[in-house]
Structure 1
């Protein structure tokens, strides 16, 4: 087999592990699976990325090819600089000991990484990735909500997820969105994700939506999160005047991400 001739034993082991883990994984997860250090995994990923069989992403890797790269890993690899800056600003809104909800969004995945500096968080999430990042770390209590698994999103959705969510009272819900319009507000491509966002908002003292400017004035078919339920938006660029006015009319505070193209504003 050509791949066998081209790659070392360690590289073949890592590729096999990625296949078994569904085509994408974090470096920590691969290190545990292969019983090696994360540094060894990072070196192996770097070598394999040069041959084009996988792509590096923040904190891990995914196999290339339309069948092997689920939508989540494609999204997390896009606009990663902006998402990282947004995540830094979002994490500044979190205090040690808070109860949080984090969804399956790609920007939320970056937020989870930044929250590893916090202590004693209680986190409920429908995201496998968020749970992996924050569980068994700094005294956190992490609850992965049940429900129907959607592999492409690496998360759970549906009636069971929503019912379990209603058992919590969150200090802060950190949500993502696929689109933000002046006319329709926050929109999602996935109906189940839109429904869950509305449920989460009802359970939270404060709601924060993290999104990069590429979501401004886009379209998606499902509305679940009502604009007036949102307390804060964290983004990387100022929206156009019409959208900015709508955000103000909804009573939402807007923060521009530290390190973004514009100075941070309230």
Structure 2
């Protein structure tokens, strides 16, 4: 079946972005509106060239639905509120690190209003969102690509990030333990988060309230290295006490704030 020029452009953009992308990233890559992307994706889904997921699309026949898109569709309203608070903490001119988390993807969109940022990231989506915006400088770290996370990990990634003086690291997570701190499902993500927390002057961890009490097998950064947590509900006990004992300031995102 023949495709329109716009459909071919979108297919090529998906290939360049690793086979999957959010609508916002595709709109930026193609210099069109997100509504145009949604219409084009819908047409391509009818021909079975792409699969639609909430907030994005991926090339059909290459992978099952990426975990990134499953995660980004959960509690999207809460993540937008959290991202707005994170953006208020970040100052123009900072050197910041942003990871591959779904909440961090929303943070990247909010940071498009900031100026003169030096952005260090292992996320394809974050790099695409912030490059060529308001005199930002974006550095995409090398390493082994993990398709489901849409980012790079491993020894090369860790070595490259050590070249930067990071004012603030914005990290995500998979679970929070009252005794162990911040947890991850993926060992390489946990290792990279630990390394970056040791480098950064300030560490901010952003997550929705559903992560409190969630279990995961790998321990992340030392909680005493974390400056802020940003979430959508005030942490209750025992987490409130744990955060206070670790010296972490809790910032709460809400519609009434």
**What TM-score do the two structures reach when normalised by structure 2?**
0.87
- Residue 254 (structure 1) aligns with: 250
| Match among 124, 127, 139 for residue 123 of structure 2 | 127
Distance in 2 of aligned mates of 1:54 and 1:47? 10
- Residue 221 (structure 2) aligns with: 225
- Residue 136 (structure 2) aligns with: 140
| Match among 130, 150, 170 for residue 174 of structure 1 | 170
| Match among 76, 79, 96 for residue 83 of structure 1 | 79
- Seen in structure 2, the aligned counterparts of structure 1 residues 28 and 209 have a Cα distance that, compared at 3 Å, is closer
Q: Kindly state the Cα deviation for residue 31 of structure 1 after the two structures are TM-superposed.
A: 5.3
- Seen in structure 2, the aligned counterparts of structure 1 residues 100 and 218 have a Cα distance that, compared at 3 Å, is same
Distance in 2 of aligned mates of 1:36 and 1:138? 16
**Equivalent residues, number:** 253
Counterpart check, 1:212 vs 2:204:
no
- Seen in structure 2, the aligned counterparts of structure 1 residues 171 and 36 have a Cα distance that, compared at 3 Å, is closer
Asked if 2 retains the 8 angstrom alpha-carbon contact of 1:177 and 1:188, the reply is yes
Q: Secondary structure at the match of 2:191?
A: helix
User: Which deviates further from its counterpart, 96-105 or 41-50?
Assistant: 41-50
| Match among 139, 146, 153 for residue 149 of structure 2 | 153
- Residue 159 (structure 2) aligns with: 163
Q: Secondary structure at the match of 1:164?
A: helix
Q: Secondary structure at the match of 1:41?
A: helix
Q: Secondary structure at the match of 1:149?
A: strand
Deviation string 1:56-91 (CA, Å, 9 cap, x unpaired) is 41xx43468994321112111111111111000000
- Seen in structure 2, the aligned counterparts of structure 1 residues 161 and 50 have a Cα distance that, compared at 3 Å, is same
| Match among 167, 176, 187 for residue 191 of structure 1 | 187
- Residue 64 (structure 2) aligns with: 68
Q: Secondary structure at the match of 2:91?
A: coil
Distance in 2 of aligned mates of 1:66 and 1:254? 41
Q: Kindly state the Cα deviation for residue 151 of structure 1 after the two structures are TM-superposed.
A: 1.0
Asked if 2 retains the 8 angstrom alpha-carbon contact of 1:18 and 1:63, the reply is no
Aligned-CA RMSD value:
2.8
Distance in 2 of aligned mates of 1:71 and 1:255? 27
User: Which deviates further from its counterpart, 209-218 or 20-29?
Assistant: 20-29
Asked if 1 retains the 8 angstrom alpha-carbon contact of 2:168 and 2:201, the reply is yes
Deviation string 1:92-114 (CA, Å, 9 cap, x unpaired) is 00111111000111100000000
Q: Kindly state the Cα deviation for residue 9 of structure 1 after the two structures are TM-superposed.
A: 4.7
**What TM-score do the two structures reach when normalised by structure 1?**
0.84
- Residue 52 (structure 2) aligns with: 54
Q: Secondary structure at the match of 2:251?
A: strand
- Residue 37 (structure 1) aligns with: 32
Asked if 1 retains the 8 angstrom alpha-carbon contact of 2:25 and 2:125, the reply is no
